[in-house]
Structure 1
Amino acid sequence: MSEARDGRMRLTVLGGFLGSGKTTWLRHQLHHGQMKDALVIVNEAAEVPVDDALLARSAELRVLAGGCACCDGREALVALLRAICDARVGGDDALASLDRVVLETSGLADPGPIVDTIRTDPVLIHHLMVDEIVIAIDALYGLDQMRHEPLTLRQIETADRLLVTKVDAAAEPDLARLVATLQALNPGAAISGAAMGSGAGLPDHAGIEPVAIPPAEGSRAPAPIAATRLDLSEATDWPAFSVWLSALLHARGDDIMRVKGVVRTPAGRLLLQSVRKVVQQPEIVPEAGAKPTDDDNSVVVIGRGFRAEDLRKSLAYFTGERR
């Protein structure tokens, strides 16, 4: 990392494909104080923000939902960053001493256009310096995503640092092959490992042949990825919902890339998440700094190859909420 010596704030762009572990890693950094004084911007492609509920330990938090910051949400990102810079210069007590901004992008965002936008904006260039692009790579699904998702390759190629996540869940030979492939794709990037947000060692990949990744130009363009919001009622039959989600992921796990949402339960606000066919252990979202909102009891399903109306009909059938 470089240091901003001219009064500008340093900007870290944290990216990576859907479910790659960006929020888990950032949450760990905040919890242990590495970025405690940073202003965190969470960009969600879906209209329902979820990741912000996990980042309550940030000094300041802003949410940019409803579009990727590299395309549909670009104008909103510029407006938000300009407002932050204006408030800082204007003496806002909460921002006056701010020297770092962390932008956690949507899993569908290409960091390249975001960085270009900031570096060419006539206002932001005087207040922000792009310090580092960190890209999270899922140790379990990274190679498959490189083969089938051109966006993953673009993310990797723009990185200053590649963060291999979930290394504790991957077999060592597969992990070594992944690291060798990442180094071949972006020789200039530093590569480190993480498990549950904590730093973790990577296996020796010397002499390991990298996986051949077909060029995006010669491959068939994948169907567009879309986000569908499912609103659940207070009377939702949760066992039936669990059966429906399990059945959906079993049948369409290759098309359903990410499921996440916060639901209200007697025990508190419960965070639900899945990556492909793997459902993560539900956890209670702390109330401090993350009060219940109108977006509670909403689940976002991100994937391709299905219609939103069919998804809603299927859920209503399983839970008995037929209309």
Structure 2
Amino acid sequence: MTRTANDGRLRMTILGGYLGSGKTTWLRHQLFKGAFGHTHILVNEAAETPVDDTLLSAQATGITMLAGGCACCTGKADLIAALRSIIDTRSREHSDNRKIDQIVLETSGLADPAAILSAIREDSVLVHHIRVAEIIVLVDASNAADQLATEHLSRLQIEAADRIIVTKADAVSPPQLATVVATAKQLNPAANIEAAVKGQPFALDDLPDAKPIDLPDLIGDSAPITPTRITIGPDVDWATFSVWLSALLFARGDDLVRVKGVIDTPAGPLLLQTVRKSVQPPELLPPEVTRNENQVVFIGRSYTSQDLQRSLEYFTHA
């Protein structure tokens, strides 16, 4: 596969998908396999505390963190500046010895890939140096029905895709998977549709016939989705925190769309991730690739970091 555009512009892939769709997991596997060649990764997180970049840095040629705003709107200026810096560095290198031959932007789960594409095309500098070759959007098979029924952004992401990858394909039954695939095809008939499990390809052969989900009209969300974070103090052990989080998700799982962070435990740093009320199996991380331990990011509606911090402290000392 050609890594750079034929006209000399640097090839770029935009990787999108709603909160919790598995973008980092999928990208880690692609980098490990060498699917993107010598790649500079840009990681965009809506929260000010980054998590995903620590999981990707080992396989990337270079990595840039864009935290504290979505690259399609509040973080757009930072994205443009980062891309200009990459092309400036590349232009100073010898043409036969360029270390970077592609850029991959892992977007925030709250980003619209189409808006990012427009921003690049409308920039007077970037349009001459970067070609967005593909927009890949991941769709969480286990949560797609709820997300597409309630979140207009999740539909916009699918509609913008050149390639759709249905993740967590083994977490649902074949009829449910077929329904998600049929819905994605209805929203974007032109996109190629694949499936994956923990970054590995998953065959879509022999799926039963299925009708798309009957999606309601959405004018706007009831409240904006925003990120916040809390710090887990040394007096809160993993067992206490996990019980508190389980209770919180039971009570507020529909409002807390995504939770992620790295918690220090006796066994080592533990990667914690949830999607709505579903807690993904924690992953033990190598100590040398982690930072921001004991800071957890919460992304959702109708709460504040002060609310969460007070709740955890009350639970801990009750």
Tell me the TM-score normalized by structure 1.
0.92
> 2: CA distance between counterparts of 1:202 and 1:40?
29
Secondary structure in 2 matching 1:79: helix
Deviates more, 1:275-284 or 1:203-212: 203-212
What is residue 240 of structure 1 aligned with on the other side?
Answer: 240
What is residue 137 of structure 2 aligned with on the other side?
Answer: 135
What is residue 253 of structure 1 aligned with on the other side?
Answer: 253
Change over 3 Å in CA distance of 1:76–1:229 after alignment to 2: same
Checking the alignment, whether the CA contact within 8 Å between 2:42 and 2:64 is kept in structure 1 is yes
2:90 to 88, 91, 98: 88
Secondary structure in 2 matching 1:216: coil
Number of equivalent positions: 315
Checking the alignment, whether the CA contact within 8 Å between 1:175 and 1:203 is kept in structure 2 is no
Structure 1 residue 263: deviation in Å? 2.1
Change over 3 Å in CA distance of 1:87–1:209 after alignment to 2: same
Secondary structure in 2 matching 1:82: helix
Alignment of 1:108-187 (within 5 A): 108-187=110-189
> 2: CA distance between counterparts of 1:264 and 1:36?
33
Structure 1 residue 205: deviation in Å? 5.3
> 1: CA distance between counterparts of 2:214 and 2:272?
35
Alignment of 1:186-201 (within 5 A): 186-201=188-203
Is there any run of 5+ residues in structure 2 with no aligned partner, and where? none
Secondary structure in 2 matching 1:246: helix
What is residue 310 of structure 1 aligned with on the other side?
Answer: 307
Is there any run of 5+ residues in structure 1 with no aligned partner, and where? none
Checking the alignment, whether the CA contact within 8 Å between 2:61 and 2:99 is kept in structure 1 is no
What is residue 5 of structure 2 aligned with on the other side?
Answer: 4
What is residue 263 of structure 1 aligned with on the other side?
Answer: 263
> 1: CA distance between counterparts of 2:250 and 2:74?
32
> 1: CA distance between counterparts of 2:310 and 2:62?
39
Q: CA RMSD in A?
A: 1.9
Checking the alignment, whether the CA contact within 8 Å between 2:174 and 2:207 is kept in structure 1 is no
Checking the alignment, whether the CA contact within 8 Å between 2:238 and 2:265 is kept in structure 1 is no
Identical residues among aligned pairs (%):
52
Structure 1 residue 49: deviation in Å? 0.5
> 2: CA distance between counterparts of 1:144 and 1:239?
30
CA displacement 1:107-160 (0-9 Å, x = unmatched): 000111100010111111111100000000000111211110000111011000
Structure 1 residue 264: deviation in Å? 2.5
Alignment of 1:203-214 (within 5 A): 203-204=205-206, 207-214=209-216
Secondary structure in 1 matching 2:47: coil
What is residue 284 of structure 1 aligned with on the other side?
Answer: 284
Structure 1 residue 212: deviation in Å? 2.0
> 2: CA distance between counterparts of 1:233 and 1:311?
13
Secondary structure in 2 matching 1:152: helix
What is residue 34 of structure 2 aligned with on the other side?
Answer: 33
Structure 1 residue 57: deviation in Å? 1.2
> 2: CA distance between counterparts of 1:282 and 1:206?
33
Checking the alignment, whether the CA contact within 8 Å between 2:223 and 2:302 is kept in structure 1 is yes
Checking the alignment, whether the CA contact within 8 Å between 1:35 and 1:58 is kept in structure 2 is no
2:108 pairs with 1:106 = yes
Deviates more, 1:49-58 or 1:229-238: 229-238
What is residue 55 of structure 2 aligned with on the other side?
Answer: 54
Checking the alignment, whether the CA contact within 8 Å between 2:120 and 2:127 is kept in structure 1 is yes
Secondary structure in 1 matching 2:103: strand
Give 1:311's aligned amino acid. Answer: L
2:312 pairs with 1:319 = no
> 1: CA distance between counterparts of 2:39 and 2:69?
23
Checking the alignment, whether the CA contact within 8 Å between 2:39 and 2:102 is kept in structure 1 is yes
Checking the alignment, whether the CA contact within 8 Å between 1:149 and 1:222 is kept in structure 2 is no
> 2: CA distance between counterparts of 1:274 and 1:206?
29
> 1: CA distance between counterparts of 2:118 and 2:263?
37
Structure 1 residue 36: deviation in Å? 4.4
> 2: CA distance between counterparts of 1:207 and 1:281?
32
Checking the alignment, whether the CA contact within 8 Å between 1:133 and 1:158 is kept in structure 2 is yes
CA displacement 1:274-318 (0-9 Å, x = unmatched): 111111121122245x2x43x221001111122332111101111
Checking the alignment, whether the CA contact within 8 Å between 2:168 and 2:197 is kept in structure 1 is yes
Deviates more, 1:132-141 or 1:25-34: 25-34
> 1: CA distance between counterparts of 2:202 and 2:139?
14
Secondary structure in 2 matching 1:261: strand
> 2: CA distance between counterparts of 1:25 and 1:115?
21
